[in-house]
Amino acid sequence: MAQDLLQFTLGGLTNGAIYALIALGFSVVHNSMGIVNFTQVDFVTLGGMLMFSALLTLGLPMVPGLLLAVAGVALVAMVVERFGLRPARSHNELVLVFLTIGISIILRGGMKLIWGTNRMAVPPLSGEKPLTVLGASILPQALWILLLTLVAVFLLHWFFHHTHMGLAMRAAASNPTAAAVVGIAPGRIRLLSFAIAGALGGLAGVLITPITTLNYDVGVMLGLKGFAAAILGGFGSFPGAILGGIGLGLLESLAAGYISSAYKDVVAFVVLLLVLFVSPKGLLGK
């Protein structure tokens, strides 16, 4: 029984780390623009697709391939903001949200044209032989997911608390009018927020695809679970995104293990509805 619990917990932490990365991407854009960026789900897919091309088409080693994939998604995210959202005549938040939905459909169609509809596989960052921890098995890729998620969270914290641009982004999120008065350019802040969101989504896609199948719409379900995690933790809260991601991953894994795997994908949306009904601000929302 204890061994099974440990196995489910390790699996939940692995998935939860991915959901946390995606939720952080949602939170970064929300804090800078006040919108839900639904292109985040496609940034996840694009990360896996670019990793596939970097490794199997360009023949790059694993680490350069990973860096190129993450940087490529960040660049695409900046293009989305600069040429997809910024030219919009309306700054109404609802209009911008619908724009992100439309751009998401365009991105998905573009990936379908470039990479096709066949399912693909991406090799793991290291070996495939499972490791044994107190009787429970864990894949080396799962350890990479946990480690690189911790690194990403640390770098994000350092950026927002110890760099001029990070402090400027926090100021703009806290009081956009005052930030503009002191010379903080809102366009630059929005562009950078999309770049960070793209990098986080791309990293999530790069890390999760070796242990799942890769397809042009694989990020949709992962992205929606990341959105549910952001809602659970408190939309816009960075600690909440991490807590919500880990919590959702654990709930999902325990439900699949002790109830039925058929309910695995239902858990996220049940949690989302419960949070919206009972406490819309989430666990750490303000």
In a domain, 213, yes or no: yes
pLDDT at 286: 64
In a domain, 241, yes or no: no
Q: Is 137 helix (H, G, I), strand (E, B) or coil?
A: strand
Cα radius of gyration (the chain): 19
Model confidence pLDDT, tens digit, residues 12-37: 899 999 999 999 999 999 888 888 89
In a domain, 167, yes or no: yes
> Global pTM?
0.93
In a domain, 174, yes or no: yes
pLDDT at 276: 81
Question: What are the 10-residue block averages of pLDDT along the chain, 286 residues in total?
Answer: 80 92 93 89 94 91 93 96 85 86 94 90 81 78 91 91 85 75 80 94 92 86 90 88 91 82 79 83 75
pLDDT at 118: 87
Q: List Cβ neighbours of 86 (8 Å cut-off, separation of 6 or more).
A: 187, 190
pLDDT at 109: 93
Q: What's the full length of the chain, in residues?
A: 286
Model confidence pLDDT, tens digit, residues 222-260: 898 999 999 988 888 888 999 999 999 998 888 887 777
Asked whether 234 and 25 are in contact (CB, 8 A), the reply is: no
pLDDT at 263: 74
In a domain, 232, yes or no: no
In a domain, 283, yes or no: no
Give the domain range for residue 153.
2-218
In a domain, 90, yes or no: yes
In a domain, 62, yes or no: yes
| Angle, alpha carbons 39-228-212 (nearest 5°) | 70
Asked whether 47 and 202 are in contact (CB, 8 A), the reply is: yes
pLDDT at 24: 94
Number of domains in the chain: 1
